[in-house]
Amino acid sequence: MHVVACKIVAYTGVLMALQFGTFVPQGWRLDLLEIADPVAKYEAMTHVAKAVDAIPVYDSIWVYDHFHTVPRIEHEAVFEAWTITAALARDTQRVKLGQMVTCIGYRNPALAAKIASTVDILSHGRLYCGIGAGWYEHEWRAYGYGFPETRDRMRAFREATQIMVKLWTEDAPTFEGEYFQIRGAINEPKGVQKPYPSLWIGGGGEQVTLKLVAQYGMAANFGGDPATISQKCAILGEHCAKLGRDYEAIIKSTNVNIVFVKAGDDLAQATAQVRATYGWSVEELQQQAIVGTPEQVAERMAALRDAGITYFITYFPRIAYDHTPLHSFAEQVAPLL
């Protein structure tokens, strides 16, 4: 039995619950590469989801909305985000389910809102709906979406967010934008959560993305070192103050890639399997992930917590083949935070 008490962190004088989620292996990071059969690949993914569901310290499981693999493009399995969100919702009982993040360029936003409403219902209100402007040019072009300039992607993102909220909160919304239009769109049923499904907005853009969080989001997701995190939190706080929004009510999340080693391990040897998947040196791995003992991992994460993060979404590179890191994190890292 793995039980970890809820931890509380202090930020700007207010106590906030520190929470944890984790990504399941869906293929995007070449994390199902060693499994040949597509059905077995899916089952490996859902086995991780079920394992997380049984560990109380984890609040959620997450998937990526991508079609082509990273860090190199291969003809490998990458399961589609919303299909597996729905399937994993029925494979699990307790955990929330999120996408980090749904690319608004891949689905009409009205349709995306409809999909999210459906998943919120079939999961009995366990949906975290993550959205973002998108960035992976290769897959955009490969799937025929083109690749608009940043200005256009961000303006379209703003419109898409507004449309999704309208579909969740109005009976027959109309919106006439530069990029999207809806005219009396009916979205029934709208979902379980009120006023609408928990909306997580990904990205650290200070003028568009963080303002959208302050206007519509239940959570923000951005990355960076502690100084960058602190700056993003401050900007978000400024937007909230201008809009009359309670900053403390918004979750501030970040993603952390973690590779555990034991004290005294030779790093090259201990990380050889992970590095072989990506063709990375030890130094390159350390640039992409926190590599260390549970105590060292907790120390790195504590610095991000102290900068303002209230929610960590973890990723363990070889979790499809070995669930041990899930328990190591829950039992040895979370208690230190």
17 pLDDT tier (thresholds 50, 70, 90): confident
Q: What is the mean pLDDT of residues 49-54?
A: 98
- Indicate left, alpha or beta for 305 from its phi (over 0: left) and psi (-120 to 50: alpha): alpha
Which pairs with CB-CB distance under 8 Å and at least 24 residues apart come from 107-112?
Answer: 108/180, 109/159, 109/160, 109/161, 109/163, 109/164, 109/167, 109/180, 110/163, 110/164, 110/167, 110/180, 110/182, 110/185, 110/187, 112/160, 112/164
Dump pLDDT digits (tens) for 148-180.
999 999 999 999 999 999 999 999 999 999 999
Question: Helix crossing, 109-122 with 150-169: angle to 10°?
Answer: 50
The CATH number that applies at residue 133 is: 3.20.20.30
Closest CA to 72 of 26, 106, 28, 133: 28
Dump pLDDT digits (tens) for 206-221.
999 999 999 999 999 9
Dump pLDDT digits (tens) for 72-108.
999 999 999 999 999 999 999 999 999 999 999 999 9
2 has pLDDT over 50: no
For residue 160, give its domain range: 7-336
Give me the residues paired with residue 202 across strands.
221
16 has pLDDT over 90: no
How far, CA to CA in Å, does 7 sit from each of 18, 318, 334, 337?
6, 27, 8, 7
12 pLDDT tier (thresholds 50, 70, 90): very low
32 has pLDDT over 60: yes
Q: What is the CA radius of gyration of the chain?
A: 20
CB atoms inside a 10 Å sphere around CB 96:
19
Residue 21 main-chain phi, psi, to 5 deg: -130, 175
Q: 184: which 2 tokens?
A: 């009396």
Is 128 within a domain? yes
141 has pLDDT over 50: yes
Dump pLDDT digits (tens) for 308-337.
999 999 999 999 999 999 999 999 999 999
Q: What is the DSSP string of 224-239?
A: --HHHHHHHHHHHHHH
Eight-state DSSP code of residue 5:
P
Query: What is the sign, positive or negative, of the torsion defined by CA atoms of 194, 197, 198, 201?
Result: negative
8 has pLDDT over 90: no
Which residues contact residue 184 at a Cβ distance below 8 angstroms, ignoring those fewer than 6 apart?
172, 173, 174
pLDDT value of residue 222: 97
Question: What's this model's pTM, rounded to 2 decimal places?
Answer: 0.93
| Kind of pairing between the strands at 14-23 and 311-315 | parallel
Is 1 within a domain? no
How far, CA to CA in Å, does 233 sit from each of 10, 104, 214, 252, 305?
14, 24, 11, 8, 11
Is 155 within a domain? yes
Whole-number mean pLDDT of the chain?
Answer: 94
Which residues contact residue 23 at a Cβ distance below 8 angstroms, ignoring those fewer than 6 apart?
61, 62, 63, 64, 100, 255, 313, 314, 315
Is 255 within a domain? yes
5 pLDDT tier (thresholds 50, 70, 90): very low
pLDDT value of residue 15: 44
Where would I find the H helices in 176-320?
Answer: 209-216, 226-243, 267-270, 272-278, 282-288, 294-307
Q: Please tell me the total count of domains within the chain.
A: 1
Q: Is 172 in a helix, a strand, or coil?
A: coil
Dump pLDDT digits (tens) for 233-269.
999 999 999 999 999 999 999 999 999 999 999 999 9
Is 2 within a domain? no
